[in-house]
Chain A
Amino acid sequence: MNTKPYFFQSFAIVALAFIAFIGFKQVLPNKIFSDSKIDSKNVLIDSMLLESVANDSLSLESDSIAEAEQQEAQKEIVFENTEGIEFPSETFENYKGYQYLVSFYEKLYQLEKNPQSKVRIAYYGDSMTDGDLIVQDVRTNYQERFGGNGVGFVSITSESAASRGSVKSVYSKNWKTQSYLNVKRPTSPFGVNGHVFFANDKTNPTWVQYEAGTNKYATTLDNPVLFYGKAAKRGNVNFIIGKDTLKKNLVPSNLVNSLKVTSGSIKAFKANFVHADSIPIYGFNFDNGSGVHVDNFSQRGNSGLPISMFDADVMRGFNNSLKYDLVVLHYGTNVLNYGTKNYYWYEKGMKKAVNKIRESFPGVSILIVSTADKSTKYDLEMKTDSAVVPLMKAQKRYALESESGFVNLYTLMGGDGSMVKWVDETPARANKDYTHFNQRGAKAIGKLLYDQLNKGYEEYKILREKRDVVSRQQRAARKANTDSIAVKNDSVYE
């Protein structure tokens, strides 16, 4: 065997390899793994989103966008007086739009004065709010301050039911589910949750079972009520609570019908659906009848666009019993990955969605929550995805134009590069997909969201106080001046 020293040959190999590497780098492609398109019927993708992306032909020159945006950022937004309340003007850059939440804030104020009244929030979202992440923290924050018990409206089934801790639900596998995500023409209209379920298995029982979770203010199932839709034939449902079975009829005569399971608070129950094949079933509501209640309507893969498919009549039916005061639209994650930075098409589509909400829930306040930061690898480094800021701006634009409040989640969590920090810090606050928050992160986001909303509320109370002082003075002046005939009361409600 050759035992001659081999140091310089050894060095030569490593050095030559380095040169070979430079050569390979120039000759070979840059990426080793193809970013192949996934084409499968089993992958959850928002079909309206795909259509909108395909139809998107409008693209401005990037220079003109940059210039327009600079002007836009400094644009002053002056609000019109609502009910005698006028929030100070804002710039587009820092737009929050508290002004457009005045009716929601007024309801909170009434609740604070009279703890028996109630306020309801519908929180629509995508996978970010799966498993009740973020929403449960917003809910807890509100219930902590304003009272209220219960997790709100819960769908029959959900892909994320297993990961939800605020309420546990188990269901038979034979439910037929239609989601607004990928069904255009549902057999019966979608419910307020964007889903409709059918118990049309004639041989096996179709059931769902709920059990209260361990979250604060949600340790019992309060006044469970079933919501179902219109159908030609009646059906039956058996509620099993402990050892008791309650047999009830489903009378599907209205667009939206409700059926009380039982009064008071229980720990768990099971619902067995019998002969209910054509009746659209939506879900159960759990609330104690006073305080704040927040419904989580999350749907993985959703861009938000499918909301424009809602049937406004059905939604008004839901609103008659649930009475929403604020609708939150928290989307964006699923529109980041389409290689586009021009979100005009999305802006347009979401304006339609917001209009549909206004039509469905008359007088409701709307809050748009922007996309959070998301990172992508550029060369060797994880950085904020270049689509994040354009999308966030588009979201701000449709928030402003549709007179909605706005939460800029991207700047709220730290702006540029913040997702990398949230993932890398110990303990981590976001997952390794550099997109989704974990429990800890979601809690932080829920708090940030609540804090911004609450800041608006505190300002509202001050403005309201001022208004009332002014109107009292006016009244006093009016009383003093008894000569004048009754002045037409302005729009001051007390």
Chain B
Amino acid sequence: MITIDSINNWFVQNFGEVTLEQAKSWFIYNPDEKLLFNTGLFLGLFLVFYFVYGFLRKTFYLRLTYVILFSLFFYYKSSGIYFLLLLLSSVVDYGLSQIIYNTAKDSTKKVYLVISVILNLGLLGYFKYMNFMIVTYNDMFSGHFALHNVFLPVGISFYTFQSMSYIIEIYREEIKPTKNYIEYLFFVSFFPQLVAGPIVRAKDFLPQIYQKLNLTKQDVNNALFLIIGGLIKKTVISNYISINFVDRVFDTPMNYTSFENLMASYGYAIQIYCDFSGYSDMAIGIALLLGFKLPANFRTPYKSVSITDFWRRWHISLSTWLKDFLYISIGGNREGSFAGFLFPSLFFFGLLLWGITNINTSFIPLTIAIGSIVVFCLSFLLSKKKNQTLVTNFNLFTTMLLGGLWHGAGAQFIVWGALHGLALAVHKIFMELFPSKKEGPSWLWRFFSILITFHFVVFCWIFFRARDFETALQVINNIGQLTFEPENWKAIVLGYKNVFLLMLFGYVWHFLPEVITDKMKFVFDRTPLLLKAVILGFVYWIVYATAVAGSQPFIYFQF
């Protein structure tokens, strides 16, 4: 017979005793335990939230308010008191957007637009770049400004960009503003994409608010498929290989062999893809469960045949944002602008300075500096339409530099952006000089294009991942000393068996032909409801079992 006691016992056995203290901690901000989609707490909270949401599906403002409250709570769990910042910036942005919409005169509109851009970027600049700027200033002019103790509110880079897209689109008269603040706040604070993207564009999202909320079986299938994939990518592949291998090598690259450094670079490439795209997929899936369609953010980027192709497949919501609002704003491929010339010039000037100051120890920095300037200049001098290519390349380079900086405050991110900017320019001139044939490239050509693009991207990731510039150079130097020693490689692979298996799994999954992934999706769509639940439950278990797996003890190889 089932009694209350027996239920209680079962519960305690499976979940442990839940104390009042614990229950409280579920609702209070804890900087060490962020509310990520892959945590048990999120699952629990979401279940309760989702149950009520189903009943509210036919209401409008009640439902919006309900989601806003949950979103604010979600943000509070990640950033504590800074959820007020989100509220404040949304009030200001909403106010400015109303003014811009209701103003007739173009010049006045522009003034308000500039104010709002400055406010948004200023906010982002203070929280994200203040200390970086102080450190850079102190280093360059041996200043002694104290660092600010700034907390970086989670997702600030994402939601400021999202608010800016709303205002700029209103300014460009691409969308009409929302009818009231509630609708606007719903758009800005929508929790699935709030902290890590995708950066949803107002013109894609706002129309969905006003549609009758509907959720079809196909939507749910798509959502579950995305969530399952995302969970595996993020919590199994990415987390495990980073903590047990990649982080260690990048912490002290010189303590590891060349082969380990090389594998850690490949490892990081699949780790960052799985981490980022996995989280995006979960966000898109969860939004879909709520009846909202967010745009895809990644399309198997390492299958790209060129660097231009890569940026159409990697973090799509960011690259289109940058294209529409930064690249086009500074002139695009039409005209040059002060900003478009300023940043690349500053960058190349800095590069030259770096080369000259290091001339006493090595000629390599200066060679690199002059070499990259020559390459960049050749990329438009060789073109038939010199002037147009010149402005395009400068604007593109600016976009990539600032895009690099968006990822984090540090010189290595700028270098990362610059490398990609340079590669884009080189690819463009290459395409102009050697136009591809109409009948499409051969199989072999395609293979080498993918191989080269992939390795260039991995090379750039080294700068992205390394703690500082020096560490990045150590990794590259170390890989440069690689010799062919299959016996030793085997020993290393066996030593890190689990890590390498997961890496292999990640890459095989990534490079699977679309036919096969489509087939898997097709089969998944047709499994009965109960089986889907079991599959999802099994994935929960995998996530759990990986999370409790102890870290692998360190190994030192000796050859």
**Bound CA span A30–B541, Å:** 9
**Bound CA span A17–B47, Å:** 11
Q: When the two chains form their complex, are residues B537 and A10 in contact, meaning their CB atoms are under 8 A apart?
A: no
B181 close to chain A: CB less than 8 A: no
Question: Which of B32, B248, B289, B550 interacts with A432 by CB under 8 Å?
Answer: B248
Would you give the 0/1 interface string for B17-33, flagging 1 where the beta carbon is closer than 8 Å to chain A? Answer: 00000000000000010
Q: When the two chains form their complex, are residues B541 and A24 in contact, meaning their CB atoms are under 8 A apart?
A: yes
Which residues from B are CB-within-8-Å of A20? 533-534, 536-538, 540
**Bound CA span A1–B57, Å:** 21
Q: When the two chains form their complex, are residues A163 and B50 in contact, meaning their CB atoms are under 8 A apart?
A: no
Q: When the two chains form their complex, are residues B546 and A5 in contact, meaning their CB atoms are under 8 A apart?
A: no
Which residues from A are CB-within-8-Å of B51? 11
- Indicate whether A44 sits within 8 Å of B533 (C-beta atoms), given known contacts A160-B255, A163-B252, A438-B251: no
Instruction: Give the shortest distance, in Å, between B343 (CB) and chain A (any CB).
Output: 28
Would you give the 0/1 interface string for A158-187, flagging 1 where the beta carbon is closer than 8 Å to chain B? Answer: 011011000000000000000000000000
Chain A, 12-54, CB within 8 A of any chain B CB? 12-26, 28-36, 38, 40-44
- Indicate whether A14 sits within 8 Å of B541 (C-beta atoms), given known contacts A42-B557, A43-B491: no
- Indicate whether A32 sits within 8 Å of B220 (C-beta atoms), given known contacts A14-B47, A38-B495, A43-B555: no
Q: When the two chains form their complex, are residues B537 and A11 in contact, meaning their CB atoms are under 8 A apart?
A: no
- Indicate whether A44 sits within 8 Å of B50 (C-beta atoms), given known contacts A10-B220, A24-B541: no
**Bound CA span A38–B536, Å:** 34
Which residues from A are CB-within-8-Å of B551? 376-377, 433-434
Question: Which of A13, A22, A44, A432 interacts with B220 by CB under 8 Å?
Answer: A13
**Bound CA span A4–B536, Å:** 23
Which residues from A are CB-within-8-Å of B289? 10, 14
Instruction: Give the shortest distance, in Å, between B227 (CB) and chain A (any CB).
Output: 9
Chain B, 178-224, CB within 8 A of any chain A CB? 214-220, 223-224
B494 close to chain A: CB less than 8 A: yes
Residue with the greatest number of chain B CB neighbours at <10 A, chosen from A17, A162, A377, A380: A17
**Bound CA span A389–B220, Å:** 51
Which residues from B are CB-within-8-Å of A29? 545
Q: When the two chains form their complex, are residues A40 and B494 in contact, meaning their CB atoms are under 8 A apart?
A: yes
Would you give the 0/1 interface string for B521-550, flagging 1 where the beta carbon is closer than 8 Å to chain A? Answer: 000000001101111111011101111111
Instruction: Give the shortest distance, in Å, between A12 (CB) and chain B (any CB).
Output: 7
Instruction: Give the shortest distance, in Å, between B37 (CB) and chain A (any CB).
Output: 12
- Indicate whether A25 sits within 8 Å of B47 (C-beta atoms), given known contacts A20-B537, A31-B549, A40-B495: no
**Bound CA span A127–B224, Å:** 46
A295 close to chain B: CB less than 8 A: no
Q: When the two chains form their complex, are residues B544 and A38 in contact, meaning their CB atoms are under 8 A apart?
A: no
A200 close to chain B: CB less than 8 A: no
Which residues from B are CB-within-8-Å of A38? 494-495, 555
Q: When the two chains form their complex, are residues A18 and B43 in contact, meaning their CB atoms are under 8 A apart?
A: yes
Question: Which of A2, A9, A42 interacts with B559 by CB under 8 Å?
Answer: A42
Which residues from B are CB-within-8-Å of A24? 537-538, 540-541
B338 close to chain A: CB less than 8 A: no
Instruction: Give the shortest distance, in Å, between B13 (CB) and chain A (any CB).
Output: 9
Which residues from B are CB-within-8-Å of A10? 50, 54, 215, 220, 223, 289
**Bound CA span A40–B558, Å:** 10
Which residues from B are CB-within-8-Å of A2? 216-218
Closest to A27 in B: B541
Q: When the two chains form their complex, are residues A9 and B495 in contact, meaning their CB atoms are under 8 A apart?
A: no
A435 close to chain B: CB less than 8 A: yes
B327 close to chain A: CB less than 8 A: no
**Bound CA span A41–B557, Å:** 9
Q: When the two chains form their complex, are residues B557 and A43 in contact, meaning their CB atoms are under 8 A apart?
A: yes
**Bound CA span A2–B214, Å:** 12
Which residues from B are CB-within-8-Å of A4? 216-217
Q: When the two chains form their complex, are residues B215 and A6 in contact, meaning their CB atoms are under 8 A apart?
A: yes
- Indicate whether A380 sits within 8 Å of B548 (C-beta atoms), given known contacts A18-B47, A130-B255: yes
Which residues from B are CB-within-8-Å of A13? 220, 224, 529, 532-533, 536
Question: Which of B54, B216, B224, B497 interacts with A11 by CB under 8 Å?
Answer: B54
Which residues from A are CB-within-8-Å of B54? 7-8, 10-11
- Indicate whether A131 sits within 8 Å of B255 (C-beta atoms), given known contacts A11-B50, A24-B541, A433-B551: yes
Q: When the two chains form their complex, are residues A21 and B488 in contact, meaning their CB atoms are under 8 A apart?
A: no
A301 close to chain B: CB less than 8 A: yes
- Indicate whether A28 sits within 8 Å of B545 (C-beta atoms), given known contacts A42-B558, A432-B247: yes
Which residues from A are CB-within-8-Å of B254? 131, 160, 162-163
Question: Which of A21, A25, A379, A433 interacts with B248 by CB under 8 Å?
Answer: A433
Q: When the two chains form their complex, are residues B43 and A22 in contact, meaning their CB atoms are under 8 A apart?
A: no
Closest to A34 in B: B498
B141 close to chain A: CB less than 8 A: no
Which residues from A are CB-within-8-Å of B32? 424
- Indicate whether A30 sits within 8 Å of B215 (C-beta atoms), given known contacts A9-B529, A42-B559, A432-B247: no
A118 close to chain B: CB less than 8 A: no
B552 close to chain A: CB less than 8 A: yes
Chain B, 441-491, CB within 8 A of any chain A CB? 478, 488, 491
Which residues from B are CB-within-8-Å of A195? none
**Bound CA span A1–B490, Å:** 52
Which residues from B are CB-within-8-Å of A3? 214, 216
A436 close to chain B: CB less than 8 A: yes
**Bound CA span A26–B15, Å:** 11
**Bound CA span A44–B217, Å:** 56
Question: Which of B50, B488, B549, B559 interacts with A32 by CB under 8 Å?
Answer: B549
B240 close to chain A: CB less than 8 A: yes
**Bound CA span A40–B497, Å:** 13
B243 close to chain A: CB less than 8 A: yes
Question: Which of A14, A31, A42, A380 interacts with B488 by CB under 8 Å?
Answer: A42
**Bound CA span A130–B495, Å:** 21
Chain B, 43-97, CB within 8 A of any chain A CB? 43, 46-47, 50-51, 53-54, 57
Which residues from B are CB-within-8-Å of A238? none
Chain A, 216-260, CB within 8 A of any chain B CB? none
Which residues from A are CB-within-8-Å of B558? 42-44, 159, 300
What are some 5 contacts across the A-B interface (CB < 8 A)?
A: A4-B216, A14-B47, A18-B540, A31-B549, A38-B494
The 5 closest A-B pairs by CB, nearest first: A20-B537, A163-B254, A16-B533, A17-B536, A432-B247
Beyond A13-B533, A31-B550, A163-B254: 16 further Cβ-contacts under 8 Å? A11-B51, A12-B533, A14-B47, A16-B533, A17-B532, A17-B540, A20-B533, A20-B540, A21-B540, A30-B548, A33-B546, A35-B552, A36-B497, A42-B491, A44-B556, A434-B551
